[in-house]
Amino acid sequence: MNATNLHLFVLVVPLLAALAINLLGRRSRQWIAPLVLGSLAFSVFGSVIIMARVVEYGTLRYTVGNWQPPYGIELVVDPLSALMMVLIAVVALLASFSSLKSVEQELPGREHFFFTLYMILIVGLFGLVLTGDAFNLYVLLEITSITTYGLIAMGKGRAALSSFNYIIMGSIAACFYLLGIGYIYILTGTLNMADIARILPTLNAPVATATAIAFVLVGLWIKMAFFPLHSWLPNAYSQAPTGAGTLIAPLMTKVTVYLMVRVIITMYTPALVFTHEWIARGVVWAASLAIICGSVLALGQKDLRRMLTYIIIAEVGYMVGGIFLANANGLTGSILHIVNDAFMTLCLFLVVAAIIYRQGSVSLVSLRGIFRRMPITMAAFTLGAFAMIGVPPTCGFFSKWYLILGGIDGGHWEFVVALIVSSLINAVLFFRIIELGYFGSLPDGDNQEHAIDERREAPWWMLSPLVLTAVILIVVGLSTGPLVNNVIRLMIPVGF
């Protein structure tokens, strides 16, 4: 195997595994787990090697079929995309342990369909972070979206309806993106991102450039559920099969945020995006609103999973706002938060999966006394909650640190206030659940009998990735410094 092709294999192996699962999985279920885990383990392994190589030697460029860019399709692995590859591979691997179990319970007999889509989704995500071509990005965005539609529609109850709403919204988003790309193509005659970045500033067409940016950004915002455009997300994510939620929730919105970073940094130059101060200011205001509204809406939910989906909306506000602060700290914070939020969301959704596996529901009422029934799961939940609140040394604190610092640097006090208020609301949200789980159903009186509920911990297949994720939360938090210095700093554009 040629070493230069390694990052392509990170993508190809899960794809082949998807085909094999579709073909062999329908004969016998036994093929599924080894294929899923084996290929993803390979991806983790490969992406870590690539990460090391990129950090050491700098950006890798790869032309598919040896057609030179700007004509050929180019894959670019710069530090940021290498980081995202590792993130996707690790999250996917951890999530798939849990998914294998919960899909076995929820969708018996349809596992091979589920995991074919699941693997193709992962391949699409890998593709998204690798590609250096604007149109390719559209195609891969749609591949991930289509597989997500399918995965969500496999859920129970209203899932199909939610999926349909998602399809409509997602398609509008993709069309907007495509339209923006169309304008860029008319302007520059190229679709290669680096080429676009080279040509765009030399053109003197501010209106057309701005239109193109607006279309592209609005498209991406719908896909990532940025606040006023978020309505599709809570239903879709909370009604998806549990196994799908553990993969989709941590990765989809985060990768879309990555795409926005990519579009702003690599395809446009920041100078072109942030030409008008009032636009950036407006977006930061919108992000602040997103944070507050997402958090407040989460307060009103009676189901843990729905609550988490609203928190995702708030977190998207964090990241978008951080980017549009248009300074180095804000951008660092956003990129860091992509990583951190993926792991935090993964942790919490794994907890949801474990609880649903055991008791079928995560409505707040059903969580009474859960600490006694599932102590390890809830310990991990507590850590995840601390990360969401932003308690050091969990990773959530450090990205929030950079984001607030960026807000102070940029004079965006509304963003700072929004971040702090949302931390406080998160504290309320999560301690409400911790309290429910810890106190259980309260009898009156002082010295009541403490009924010992039977301990019914989730199986090890679900528990071990969960515990690992909880540990990762702290490890990532403590390695923030190296992460920022060796990876993220390299991505901050000059003069930012």
Which CB, 98 or 212, lies closer to another protein? 212
Which CB, 349 or 402, lies closer to another protein? 402
How distant is the alpha carbon of residue 171 from its chain centre? Answer: 19
Which CB, 70 or 97, lies closer to another protein? 70
Report how far residue 154's alpha carbon sits from residue 167's, in angstroms, rounded to the nearest whole number.
14
302: number of Cβ within 10 Å: 9
Distance of closest approach, residue 358 Cβ to another protein, in angstroms: 22
Distance of closest approach, residue 372 Cβ to another protein, in angstroms: 10
Cα-based torsion angle of the residue sequence 460, 462, 466, 468 in order, rounded to the nearest 10 degrees: 50
Closest CA to 200 of 218, 216, 212: 212
User: Long-range contacts made by residues 50-54, C-beta under 8 angstroms, separation at least 24?
Assistant: 50/6, 50/7, 50/10, 50/77, 50/82, 50/85, 51/82, 51/83, 51/85, 51/86, 54/78, 54/79, 54/82
Instruction: Say whether the peptide bond before residue 70 is cis (omega within 30 degrees of 0).
Output: yes
Distance of closest approach, residue 6 Cβ to another protein, in angstroms: 10
Give DSSP secondary structure letters for 180-222. Answer: HHHHHHHHHS--BHHHHHHHGGGS--HHHHHHHHHHHHHHHHH
Which CB, 174 or 283, lies closer to another protein? 174
Distance of closest approach, residue 123 Cβ to another protein, in angstroms: 10
Phi first, then psi: what are they for 321, rounded to 5°? -60, -45
Distance of closest approach, residue 392 Cβ to another protein, in angstroms: 4
Which CB, 104 or 142, lies closer to another protein? 142
Closest CA to 441 of 369, 375, 370: 369
Which CB, 54 or 357, lies closer to another protein? 54
Distance of closest approach, residue 233 Cβ to another protein, in angstroms: 17
Which CB, 8 or 279, lies closer to another protein? 8
Sign of CA pseudo-dihedral 127, 172, 237, 284: positive
Distance of closest approach, residue 253 Cβ to another protein, in angstroms: 20
Closest CA to 151 of 125, 129, 128: 125
Q: Which residues pair with 254 in a beta bridge?
A: none
